[in-house]
Amino acid sequence: MKFKKFLSIPIISVFSLMGFAYYITIFIFIQDWLGLESSSGFRNALIFSFFAFLSLFSFFVCVIRDPGHVPSSYVPDVEYSPSTDQDSTKSVSHSRRCDKCSSYKPPRAHHCRVCRRCVLRMDHHCLWINNCVGYRNYKGFLTLVLYTTVASIHSMVIVVSSGLQKDFTGRPPLKIFYISCGALMVALSFTLGTLLGWHIYLLAHNLTTIEYYEGKRAAWLARKSGQGYRHPYNVGDYKNITLVCLSLSLSLSHTYTHTNGS
């Protein structure tokens, strides 16, 4: 059932782009610039293939892995709420209840209209992986963006270097091909690099994309009323990064999962 996710036009487009970028980088530009038989050409081909494989593996993880669903048995624990019993009951029934799922949802969970369910620590629904980016696959998504950025920059350097030493005299079609491939890799590197920088910022502040825009509105409302606003889950850069990169699921599962009799 999970492999049916791959039968979508965006995912097929990603595979096609990956295959095209790999082929032209290895068998056209490295071969033309350095030669695959040379030690430097083989080394560049090996490094690029390594990051291409990691990108492909991370892509599979993002598509297949469940981003984190809210258990049907989940009920918010109001024991630690500082408010009164009446206020706690009102908060549970309104603030932590999903109108679309008609069930309770934990903090940081949001309902995805595409997946038609609530997702734990939802960042966004990504068209290119045909899946939500959430609690369980965010690390895979982050490594995917990292590896593809490195591979794209490496390919860009190879394409540009190969084009600069090429003699295009009397061969306009070849020149157009080189310029087109160079422009493609520059655009891809810039887009992925920007996306990587954005998610590094979110990671350092323990934010999701949804929480960032919600926080902007909350900060505006706080300033309007003469108050300050601070993201409640920001525990410092180092702890924020380790929470995601080290996947401290045992410490976070108490927040997200309701267990009976514990």
Report the domain count for the chain.
1
Our CA dihedral for 184, 188, 190, 194, rounded to 10 degrees, sits at 160
Whole domain around residue 180: which residue ranges? Answer: 2-65+135-195
- pLDDT given at position 44: 97
- pLDDT given at position 83: 45
Are the C-beta atoms of residues 98 and 183 closer than 8 Å to each other? no
Q: Chain centroid to CA 192: how far?
A: 11
Per-residue pLDDT tens over the stretch 145-191 = 999 999 999 999 999 999 999 888 888 999 999 999 999 999 999 99
Residue located via tokens 């990292």: 146
- Binning pLDDT at 50, 70 and 90, where does residue 1 land? low
- To the nearest whole number, what is the mean pLDDT of the chain? 85
The average pLDDT across 239-262 equals 53
| 209 assigned to some structural domain | no
118 included as an active-site residue: no
Which of 242, 192, 208, 240 is closest to 51 using CA atoms? 192
Q: Which residues contact 74 (CB under 8 A, 6 or more apart)?
A: 103, 104, 105, 106, 256, 257, 258
Are the C-beta atoms of residues 151 and 59 closer than 8 Å to each other? no
The answer, yes or no, to whether residue 250 has pLDDT greater than 80, is no
The answer, yes or no, to whether residue 226 has pLDDT greater than 70, is yes
Catalytic residue among 62, 118, 126, 181: 126
- pLDDT given at position 252: 39
- pLDDT given at position 72: 74
- pLDDT given at position 78: 59
- Which residue would you say has higher pLDDT here, 76 or 142? 142
- Which residue would you say has higher pLDDT here, 150 or 74? 150
Query: Mapping DSSP to helix (H, G, I), strand (E, B) and coil, where does residue 110 land?
Result: strand
- pLDDT given at position 55: 97
| 90 assigned to some structural domain | no
Task: Name the pTM for this structure.
Answer: 0.84
Candidate ranges 62-76, 105-119, 235-249; pick with highest mean pLDDT = 105-119
| 70 assigned to some structural domain | no
Per-residue pLDDT tens over the stretch 88-129 = 444 443 456 888 887 888 888 999 999 889 999 999 999 999
Are the C-beta atoms of residues 145 and 196 closer than 8 Å to each other? yes
Q: Amino acid identity of 143?
A: T
Angle at 51 between CA 45 and CA 52, to 5 degrees: 80
- pLDDT given at position 258: 40
- Binning pLDDT at 50, 70 and 90, where does residue 254 land? very low
Task: Please count the residues of the chain.
Answer: 262
